[in-house]
Homo-oligomer: A and B are copies of this chain.
Amino acid sequence: MKKEKSPQKTLTTKERIFQASVNLFSQKGFDAVSMREIGREVGIRESSIYNHYKNKDAILESIINHLIDKLGAMSLTDEEMDVLISESPELFFETGSREFFNGMSNPETEKIWRILSIEVFHNEKIKTFFVNELLESPIKEWERIFTKMMKKGIIKEYDPRVLAMEYFSFALYLFFEYFILKYDTKYSSFTDMAYKKMIDHTNFILSSVKVENDEDSNLKL
């Protein structure tokens, strides 16, 4: 909005507060981090933070909005989807998965998803964001996609709502497994833990619903 990202590393104090907050909140949760602690990380006194953010809540707010902006800048158009479906369902699923993982997997984005996962209990705005963006919109989207595939005769007839749940719930399960249970463990990123599992899942769903016409067309990594 204001200016482009500077070529290298001259971050403003506000940006450094932002980054320090993302790091600390993602490790300890919002409540467990004090303004003193953020200040210490940045190298200024807590009182100076108030020259850049109105209060502690405003920092969290700006972190949430940063993710929302970033996500809004992605996602396929209807035409792109149509082309992909006609090409092959395998290619389509692979593209869809890749898109989902892209929205989760760069290091800064992961930290923010982790913050949201921790704070979803205490913050109504975060909860609404989760329910809409992670649950309801994708399920509706996949219902449309499966309906389209049925009309084209690519997959068998089955309740498209159930099919959408079957397909996408697994991605959500992986999200929860990583961001709630496995964060800070051996895995270095969401993709690292989840991508292979998602391929197995996609192959299972395809093997169940695809109209047979060729031999073996499993996805490969």
Interface residues of A (CB under 8 A from B): 29, 31-32, 117-118, 120-122, 127, 130-131, 135, 158-159, 162-163, 165-166, 169-170, 172-174, 176-177, 180-182, 197, 200-201, 204, 207-208
Contact = CB atoms under 8 A, between A and B. Distances in A.
A174 B176 CA distance: 11
Contact of A31 (B31, B117, B135, B170): B31
A29 B165 contact: no
A207 to B, nearest CB: 7
Q: Which of A29, A121, A170, A201 has the most CB of B within 10 A?
A: A121
Given A176-B173, A176-B176, A166 B120 contact: no
A121 to B, nearest CB: 5
A127 B165 contact: no
Contact of A197 (B135, B158, B165, B177): B165
Q: How many copies does the complex hold?
A: 2
Contacts of A197: 165
A39 B162 CA distance: 47
- Report whether over half of chain A's contact residues are helix, strand or loop; otherwise say mixed: helix
Contacts of A201: 162, 165-166
A172 B170 CA distance: 9
B181 A130 contact: yes
Given A127-B181, A169-B170, 4 more contacts: A121-B180, A162-B200, A170-B170, A207-B208
Nearest to A127: B181
A117 B118 CA distance: 10
Contacts of A165: 197, 200-201
A131 B166 contact: no
Contact of A120 (B169, B172, B180): B180
A11 to B, nearest CB: 28
A180 B176 CA distance: 10
Contacts of A207: 208
